[in-house]
Amino acid sequence: MLHEILYSSAATSSMTSAQLSALAIQSSESNHEGGISGCLVYHKREFMQLLEGEQDEIENLLAKIIKDSRNTNLKVIWQGPIEQRAFASWGMAFVNLEEGTKPSGIQEMIEQGLNSAQITGHHSTARELFEIIRKEML
């Protein structure tokens, strides 16, 4: 049964684009091996990530991420079964919202911060964010 976990967390220090690329590449490779897909978003020292895959696999990964000293204050926004993957062709799509053009429609959403009660309190808002990003990446 396929599952998804959606969470946000705070970066412990601001990450350079080189550090973020290294994390994205390593994650993508290792996720492909574990049959995990999803999308990681970074903005103003905050992360939001969607993990998709077998429940055991993504729960094990989440446990590793919780212990990872690069982030703290991790909050699970939503988790549950899914019928299909949103980011099937990606090990881990990565979007740095500080660089390049932001997908239109998300500016208002991210103003309060990815790890804010504003977004984490409404999982529909967080899901909408990934839906907009997904469409942008097609």
Ligand X SMILES: Cc1cc2nc3c(=O)[nH]c(=O)nc-3n(C[C@H](O)[C@H](O)[C@H](O)COP(=O)(O)O)c2cc1C
CA distances from 53 to 35, 137, 138 (A): 6, 20, 20
Please report how close the Cβ of residue 120 comes to ligand X at its closest, in angstroms.
15
Q: Which pairing describes strands 93-96 and 46-54: parallel, antiparallel, or unpaired?
A: unpaired
Of 37, 71, 115, 120, the one binding ligand X (CB under 6 A) is: 71
* 37 part of the interface to ligand X, by CB under 6 A: no
Q: Which pairing describes strands 46-54 and 37-43: parallel, antiparallel, or unpaired?
A: antiparallel
* 47 part of the interface to ligand X, by CB under 6 A: yes
* 61 part of the interface to ligand X, by CB under 6 A: yes
Look at residues 11, 9, 4 and name the one whose alpha carbon lies nearest to residue 119: 9
* 92 part of the interface to ligand X, by CB under 6 A: yes
* 39 part of the interface to ligand X, by CB under 6 A: no
Measured from the CB atom, the residue of 62 and 132 that comes closer to ligand X is 62
Number of residues that bind ligand X (CB under 6 A): 15
Tally of CA atoms within 13 A in the half-sphere of 11 that contains its CB: 19
* 56 part of the interface to ligand X, by CB under 6 A: no
Please report how close the Cβ of residue 92 comes to ligand X at its closest, in angstroms.
5
Of 20, 39, 40, 41, the one binding ligand X (CB under 6 A) is: 40
Q: Are 48 and 110 in contact (CB under 8 A)?
A: no
Of 4, 20, 31, 77, the one binding ligand X (CB under 6 A) is: 31
- Left (φ > 0), alpha (ψ -120 to 50) or beta: where does 16 sit? beta
